[in-house]
Structure 1
């Protein structure tokens, strides 16, 4: 990845950087309400399954923040084990770490510190002494407000080898592996996604759950209609049909059919294990990959339907030489798309004491 901080011509819209000023006079990152709001504001800009934003944050002291799973936002049909929730929270955790770096501190992360008493506590993040952020860190941080999930057609241009190697390095930096899926293997993967999407769409419970998280652009969560994307004209790309869960009026307003790229560029993200710690790791790796892609002007969307359908009794039992697949990513060059809504920071921020939480 370039160290100049320059943004390639091909993709990122011009805007003010997502600025988190360095702490003044040694002030620790979470010392003030304004500082907490800025850092948590960066964290909650992360992607999440169905834009469910299933996270909560609790300030412990001037240097410590806790990340919790918001189990009220667990997608019980789509994500019964919480794998997608864990990946989503991992992406938010990476953004929080990156925002802490902008203050001149490093972050020390303790994952799942109290699984017996507080299984919803996913990580404790402590800011520790560090040097100023480097240019790559600043560039990734500046990409936070520009990252989008793009469900629209891409133009078919292949990613340059240098760009894909940067994405591979981004995953590796977070303890994950990213590999390109090509040729017949890519076609088989897309066929698996299509079968999984059809199976899910046939379930009443799935459609009802989807309806809860899709629809009006006025909501502060979920996937709004403007982000659905058009239907593939020939069914060549099995994108998740967010309109299938809504009322007929929502389905009728969906954009017209469109021609998608005939040979989508796919990548698979692997972790060595397949448990809650690995899902957090996968989320951090995914977000670093997505921010790196954004810096290169590369668009991305995700497939997880085959992973969602794996029966609980079979998750974690079969790993290939690279480990377990945690996400399938479609990469390419697409049109600019608007952001999806976010809940206000205060809704995801818990300032209560630990004793109050337990009582």
Structure 2
């Protein structure tokens, strides 16, 4: 079950989670605060979304055993704010076909930063993605036309602002890998740099020339009109971040099941100070992630830490009354 959980996406592949087995039917999910991105994610929003994605995978894995996952989010916010959720497996019915399909997609989901071919997503696929987010208490909205261009312009501005910060560059360098490793973003996952004003993907090489990390890959032509979607939650606190992560993972697994590739934009959200994230909230709430969708080439997986490294076996891990 934990192997399924840790296959979830996470910001810069930091994998900021730890698990503790409480008893035969109960698991605790903790935030690994040593993996918090202090520059990019000081409030822990991205960490919470990442852990929410892992929580969704854990729920799916529990369902495969014929149990129902009963999740208690933030059970001890005053005493243990890093304890994000307690998950209890209660007897339940057999998993449904949709649950089995999503579970089967866990090892096949990828973040794909390659060019997409520009084919529009069919309406039934978009409906399925919107329904996936709704099923987790979030809202997914396709972003098209001029709105999409404005969003991409904001992402590009945020990317340029971040890249100009020495502390950001140092943090990004720490989580990129020229070779192999169990965490961080390896060079093969950077993707080529867009040519002629393509989508503003995060520049892990931080420069205009081909990066030694990506093997000197030449710039590539991307789809002229990227298909975007924005993921919203009603609130913007730790519970909402967990909810957003679960919704995001359900959307990504649903996309994978339909043969749809995805990459993520969060740069404008990374720039927004926590004390101002409640400003100008629209009727849909707070944006938690921007998603680029389309049809792209297969990409290689990125490594995950061994299960033994994310399981906390200390008997006294929880603070008990």
Q: TM-score range by the shorter chain?
A: over 0.9
| Of 203, 216, 221, the match for 2:165 | 203
Partner residue in 2 for 1:295: 257
Structure 1 residue 244, shift from structure 2 partner: 1.7
Q: Find the aligned partners of 1:66 and 1:244 in 2 and give their Cα distance.
A: 37
Partner residue in 2 for 1:312: 274
Structure 2 residue 176 is matched with structure 1 residue 181: no
> TM-score with structure 2 length normalisation?
0.97
Partner residue in 1 for 2:296: 334
Where does 1:202-241 land on structure 2 (aligned, <5 Å)?
202-241=164-203
Three-state SS of the structure 1 residue aligned to 2:72 is strand
Three-state SS of the structure 1 residue aligned to 2:88 is strand
Contact 1:272–1:278 under 8 Å retained in 2: yes
Contact 1:174–1:284 under 8 Å retained in 2: yes
Change (3 A) 1:185 1:243: same
Which runs of 5 or more residues in structure 2 are unaligned?
A: none
Partner residue in 1 for 2:102: 140
Q: Find the aligned partners of 2:147 and 2:300 in 1 and give their Cα distance.
A: 32
Partner residue in 2 for 1:276: 238
Partner residue in 2 for 1:93: 55
Q: Find the aligned partners of 1:252 and 1:121 in 2 and give their Cα distance.
A: 37
Structure 1 residue 253, shift from structure 2 partner: 2.7
Partner residue in 2 for 1:66: 28
Structure 1 residue 249, shift from structure 2 partner: 6.3
> TM-score with structure 1 length normalisation?
0.87
Q: Find the aligned partners of 1:355 and 1:347 in 2 and give their Cα distance.
A: 15
Structure 2 residue 15 is matched with structure 1 residue 53: yes
Which runs of 5 or more residues in structure 1 are unaligned?
A: 1-38
Partner residue in 2 for 1:108: 70
Partner residue in 1 for 2:38: 76
Three-state SS of the structure 2 residue aligned to 1:145 is helix
Q: Find the aligned partners of 2:214 and 2:259 in 1 and give their Cα distance.
A: 32
Q: Find the aligned partners of 1:50 and 1:204 in 2 and give their Cα distance.
A: 17
Partner residue in 2 for 1:32: none
Q: Find the aligned partners of 1:211 and 1:227 in 2 and give their Cα distance.
A: 14
Structure 1 residue 235, shift from structure 2 partner: 2.5
Change (3 A) 1:91 1:254: farther
Q: How big is the alpha-carbon RMSD for the aligned residues of Structure 1 and Structure 2?
A: 1.6
Post-superposition Cα deviations, 1:197-229, rounded to whole Å, max 9, x if no partner, equal: 000000000000000000233111000000000
Structure 1 residue 236, shift from structure 2 partner: 2.1
Change (3 A) 1:254 1:320: farther
